[in-house]
Amino acid sequence: MVSLDGKSPENISRNKLLVVAGLGWLFDAMDVGILSFVIAALHEDWGLNSQQMGWIGSMNSIGMAVGAFVFGIYADRVGRKKVFIITLLLFSLASGLSALTTTLAAFMILRFFVGMGLGGELPVASTLVSESVPAKERGRVVVLLESFWAAGWLIAAIISYFIIPSFGWRVALLLTALPALYALYLRINLPDSPQFSAKKNVLQSVSRNIKDVWSAKYRKPTIMLWTVWFTVVFSYYGMFLWLPSVMVLKGFTLIQSFQYVLIMTLAQLPGYFSAAWLIERAGRKFVLVTYLFGTAASALAFGNAETLAMLIVSGAFLSFFNLGAWGALYAYSPEQYPTVIRGTGTGMAASFGRVGGILGPLLVGFMLAGGYGVNWIFGIFCVSIIIGALAVAFLGTETKQMELE
């Protein structure tokens, strides 16, 4: 492992790396979080039906699937740093431009490019951090990296609560374009992964990398990762992109729904921090399986909640367990592969997961249009998450404090 204690441009402290990469995650979460509120606002502003609302979230996920696959492979060819910057610029600029659209078609086209940047950035950033810190603290640092997502969602909820009702959804989206300036700063200050730099003279072809991911040696972890990524992304984007809209459907006003979702979002941070504390003590598998089962139980409770108190409490637990599980998943995924195919393997798993992100929001839209209740919808997400937890429990191996190949 290359030390990260120096102060030259080629070296960076662990905490500075965490902040530099983490702010990219924060901006990503701001965009996804604001989109969930914008969908609810567009329902009123443009008179969208439930299927159209579902397609907005799904178009975002189609872009994420393409981005995770393309940029994950690209990261194994040109390095983690270049891809991190390109993807950050792509989603920032496309998100800002989407604020200027006047038609649903133009909005969804730009959401595809936003999704490409977002889907490519997340697995590449976690790979970069995984390869840049010692094994004894790698899991904790990657989960802490993921905690910036909760901060971004919290900022998105605050912006949406105070900005959208008074100034409109366009102003909220324009605020998400600011990370483009930050990406230029990253170009100068962020070093590439020391492991990639050491291995870049032994790069393989793209086809060889893809073949190796499904070779006999890595087939079992690949099946496990693809299963858990699909089920987690399917349920996350189905539930959380619809959360403000579900609150409106339950009879609350738009402003009330924003307020209650903001309260639920606060639980994401302790979810991450508890997972970060446990992951180097109890291990990746324990944290991932436990938090996924907690997510499943919370989803079932939220779908069947009949009082405001039960909605907020179950929604808070849903945020707590689901985002803690996300942190563990991002720590666990890069540890399944050696350096030469790590970006490809992680990116392909994330890309397959985004197929679930396409289907989740669409499922909610079509089931609501078909007259199904929220309890049925969240029951499906509960079963999905349980399948992902069982895949990790029976197919996964523990990678706690294991040195990366």
Considering the domain boundaries, does residue 99 fall inside one?
yes
Considering the domain boundaries, does residue 8 fall inside one?
no
The CA-based dihedral angle spanning residues 179, 182, 183, 188, taken in that order and rounded to the nearest 10 degrees: 180
Considering the domain boundaries, does residue 67 fall inside one?
yes
Q: Whose structure tokens read 């989407």?
A: 98
Residues 82-108: tens digit of each pLDDT: 888 888 888 888 988 999 998 999 999
Does residue 9 have a pLDDT over 50?
A: no
Nearest to 262 by CA among 333, 161, 345, 178: 161
Considering the domain boundaries, does residue 403 fall inside one?
no
- What the block records as the tokens of 253 is 């006003």
Residues 302-346: tens digit of each pLDDT: 999 888 899 899 999 999 999 899 989 988 998 999 888 888 898
**Rg of the chain in Å (alpha carbons):** 20
Considering the domain boundaries, does residue 131 fall inside one?
yes
Enter the DSSP assignment of 307: S
Domain span including residue 356: 14-184+211-395
Residues 143-193: tens digit of each pLDDT: 888 788 888 888 888 888 888 888 889 998 888 777 767 766 766 677 766
CATH number at residue 74: 1.20.1250.20
CB 241 within 8 A of CB 35: yes
Residues of the chain with pLDDT > 90, as a percent, come to 27
Considering the domain boundaries, does residue 116 fall inside one?
yes
Considering the domain boundaries, does residue 231 fall inside one?
yes
- What the block records as the tokens of 57 is 């979230």
Give the dihedral sign, CA 141/145/150/155: positive
| Alpha helix positions (H), 46-79 | 50-78
CB atoms within 10 A of CB 135: 16
Considering the domain boundaries, does residue 229 fall inside one?
yes
What is the pTM for the complete model shown? 0.77
Domain count, the chain: 1
Does residue 4 have a pLDDT over 60?
A: no
